Structure 1
């Protein structure tokens, strides 16, 4: 066993020639990280189940379904149930492709690091820069204030709905509380993630049991199996087939954070195995449990889809609980959903801070030297970056004050940004870098390339899908989906920033294994990197 860290800055240990604070990691993880050019700065304390837990917690299936059901409900039960199942299959293909890369090169900067590693020499710096920023934006969305306010609406038995100012005020309070929790609870965060597994599974089981039992007990009847699995609706104005495709947005958003395992790589024990298993377990469980929950919801909801969509509570899920369980039962479940939503936001901020910290470690952000610092007082947490992300979240959240279109654009911004970030390194590996790919402990073998191509094509389709308006083929300005505008602004702005300024100082991932080196063996690790290494030496 390694000795426990003392908290003193002047104490270091060496493993594989890398000087680190004692107790941060096992030698095998230190050496694997050093081969990628980085010294260990975070504390490795997440087991394989806890890696699964952080992704599963961010997915938060029942509250995520509640937040996104408005995307699938317009297509009726078929859109809800089979839309989830179909899209989830493709998402698992993406998870397989990502797991191949995550096992080979488990680092917190994952997606932009892989992009730089595999891309052609003349494209690697701008593409890596774009993916790093896109991925960071894709991780900091936190749009669940409406769930809290649904509780207030149910409790009051009224038609009251929250104003946009009230929604933003709740959002601000939640984000600030998330930031405080993420900064000071580092020591117990793995245990919190383990607890999240039990809470989420408990909520799934309770929902699956309580909805049908409550509906029957209140004198209602369940919808038939034919209704659940074959009833087609279309409340969108689009052709029915496209309405079904738009229903994919629910699982696309809900099963959209398994890359959090990648960003926690440098805190995972035996990362080459724990990270890919965390990705696959979370994506697979989402398919199974989500399908089950949605089938039960379809069996217990009002057969008139328009009544549920037009719920006075502002949340179709709240209406489904209310119809099956009455006011008190619905309020109880919605309170639990709000608690789980808090845990989702906390886990998301933790994962996002690691991605952003890794990007600042490579000098990509303004004031990177300030934000890349690790707080040993708070259990080796990137506290400064956590605070920085809280500020960014507060600014982005102002969009919800404008109108529904701006809110939905913010919502879809994270889908498009994430999908671009997931697809680019896989594409770069296929087109330019296959000869550089060295499989890790998890590898899909001869199916790896076909899986990767299917993943890239699906992710491209997902980006396009996220930019369509839900309402009708000819929406007015209030109903338009402005995701293409916002994403275009972000992506074009990012590239303009790079070519005007950042190209003079951003050179991709930087070597840190020989920072403050005290032995010659540090230099040996740096020199062991390939001559065409993707890593630049930090000045």
Structure 2
């Protein structure tokens, strides 16, 4: 966000900043970024990236045919409550370890030495997978919204799969250019983007009931009308309606990525995560109630209209051609902004992962452009990986059923990445781990781990100021159970008898990435296990490998000291780039 900050800081804020920086040093990182984000601004980052109204426009055809009003309203509300448990569990991790490394760092910190590098590796790949799929799904949704505007303007216009795929590529390229070379301009547009999302919400919540005041549905239909337009049984169809809210209320971990730029990060970041989920849950429920109230009784007509966008059809019935076209034009702008907003952190995650040598051709992608001061190559890596996913539209060029896989994929990747650190905390983090060094048969150093009886004060996971207390374990169990269930659920196809056009390709794409990451890890001589040692931290941090590998006889041979520069441990041979160069 583009926000002005005074150069003279209040003493309390300066003290908070000092404590934040001390905590970061304790975790093994030097404070390199200015802490300019207040608690409110940190919340704004997490909430605005969800873009509730544009996201509902993009996904309403994933809950409307799977239960009608019931699937829309109650599916959203139930999902939001379950997602809240994920946010609560993630929030206490963010409070305990407020670093931009987030999921990646937490996993490495809380896992046994024998598994931590591999688990951190898999978290990184699933984060990359989820980010690419999310960018792809946003770009595809944006192209559909743009063509819906064209159809509102000209009723006879019907886009083809080739046209939409071409526009999809154009949208991703434009957003890539913005994130690569126009970050200063883009930052100044964040506040107008938030205002635009608020106005779209008000138009929907207030404008629709007024415009349709003589044709409102009954309360019984609005809250209890169940319409199943699929071949699935009613119960399972209702479960599939969860896709829309889960896709929308996602990427809230972006607040974690600015932990090192937030004041009072140990409190501000978890509050932002939980607050964004709660706000999106409530706002989305209210908007969907309004839509169910004003859309009419013929759910099939709304879902199957030639516009291809049920929300556009509802606006058209309420506001007429000119009014709906005006509203929908702003919807296009909001969706475009969301796409660029997600490419930005996604490229930074890819850059950080390449810095640790985990991606193929990491030396190439770990590069900061001298002109823009941004990781341009990482931006184009994300865009380049996202573009081919859109080609799934050609598997079903009429109904675009196959393209639904990218929406499922945008959930599966992040949920695996979220679940691993939360699971690591449940399995190993709440115990005292003593790490020893032994000699293996081939005389190489090998890390071994022993778990002992412990008290709360000795736990590896040290709660931060924002903590769930005795509810911590229960929330974690619910979160992991829910995410596991969701990953399986969203692997199912849209219909009971899928063909090549309606098959859910998400499981194939995700499986291919998981297999690639695993094979790449275990490859002899060049595999990840031969060089990847997790996040790079400076000497003196709290990471287990730092404390136990400090003796000279087991010093990390890849570390280098240049003058008085800090010594890095736990990373690959690729030299780190200070984050303030991004």
- What TM-score do the two structures reach when normalised by structure 2? 0.81
2:375 match: 382
The alpha carbon displacement at 1:284 in A equals 0.8
Aligned partner of 1:148 among 146, 149, 165: 146
1:56–1:197: 8 Å Cα contact kept in structure 2? no
2:482 match: 458
Q: What CA distance in whole angstroms lies between the structure 2 residues aligned with 1:510 and 1:226?
A: 57
The alpha carbon displacement at 1:191 in A equals 4.6
Q: What CA distance in whole angstroms lies between the structure 1 residues aligned with 2:44 and 2:375?
A: 20
1:94 match: 86
Provide, for residues 286-331 of structure 1, a one-character-per-residue CA deviation record: whole Å limited to 9, x for no partner: 0110000000000010211111110100111111111222211221
SS at match of 1:442: coil
2:556 match: none
Q: 1:442–1:374: structure 2 CA closer, same or farther, 3 Å change rule?
A: farther
Q: What CA distance in whole angstroms lies between the structure 2 residues aligned with 1:54 and 1:192?
A: 13
SS at match of 2:113: coil
Aligned partner of 2:161 among 120, 140, 164: 164
Q: What CA distance in whole angstroms lies between the structure 2 residues aligned with 1:439 and 1:166?
A: 52
1:138–1:417: 8 Å Cα contact kept in structure 2? yes
2:412 match: 416
Provide, for residues 433-469 of structure 1, a one-character-per-residue CA deviation record: whole Å limited to 9, x for no partner: 2231111222111111111110000001110111111
Aligned partner of 1:508 among 513, 519, 534: 534
1:37–1:535: 8 Å Cα contact kept in structure 2? no
Q: What CA distance in whole angstroms lies between the structure 2 residues aligned with 1:445 and 1:532?
A: 32
The farther-off stretch of 266-275 and 80-89 is: 266-275
2:216–2:296: 8 Å Cα contact kept in structure 1? no
The alpha carbon displacement at 1:91 in A equals 0.6
Aligned partner of 1:207 among 204, 208, 222: 204
Q: 1:535–1:211: structure 2 CA closer, same or farther, 3 Å change rule?
A: farther
1:392 match: 385
Q: 1:45–1:406: structure 2 CA closer, same or farther, 3 Å change rule?
A: farther
Q: What CA distance in whole angstroms lies between the structure 1 residues aligned with 2:317 and 2:549?
A: 63
2:456 match: none
1:359–1:365: 8 Å Cα contact kept in structure 2? yes
SS at match of 1:436: coil
Superposed, which structure 2 residues align to 1:127-526 within 5 Å?
127-140=119-132, 141-142=134-135, 143=137, 144=141, 145-158=143-156, 160-187=157-184, 191-216=188-213, 220-374=214-368, 378=372, 381-403=374-396, 404-434=400-430, 435-471=459-495, 473-500=496-523, 501-511=527-537, 513=538, 523=539
Q: 1:125–1:78: structure 2 CA closer, same or farther, 3 Å change rule?
A: same
Q: 1:90–1:151: structure 2 CA closer, same or farther, 3 Å change rule?
A: same
| Larger Cα-atom Rg | 2
Paired residue total: 503
1:108–1:355: 8 Å Cα contact kept in structure 2? no
Q: 1:337–1:295: structure 2 CA closer, same or farther, 3 Å change rule?
A: same
2:435 match: none
SS at match of 2:86: helix
1:48 match: 39
Q: What CA distance in whole angstroms lies between the structure 1 residues aligned with 2:370 and 2:51?
A: 30
Provide, for residues 254-279 of structure 1, a one-character-per-residue CA deviation record: whole Å limited to 9, x for no partner: 10111111223233333222221221
SS at match of 1:264: helix
Determine if the alignment matches structure 1 residue 71 to structure 2 residue 62.
yes
Q: What CA distance in whole angstroms lies between the structure 1 residues aligned with 2:485 and 2:325?
A: 38
SS at match of 1:73: coil
Q: What CA distance in whole angstroms lies between the structure 2 residues aligned with 1:204 and 1:60?
A: 10
Superposed, which structure 2 residues align to 1:99-118 within 5 Å?
99-118=91-110
1:59–1:256: 8 Å Cα contact kept in structure 2? yes
Consecutive unaligned residues of structure 1, counting only runs of 5 or more, are 5-22, 514-522
2:23 match: 32
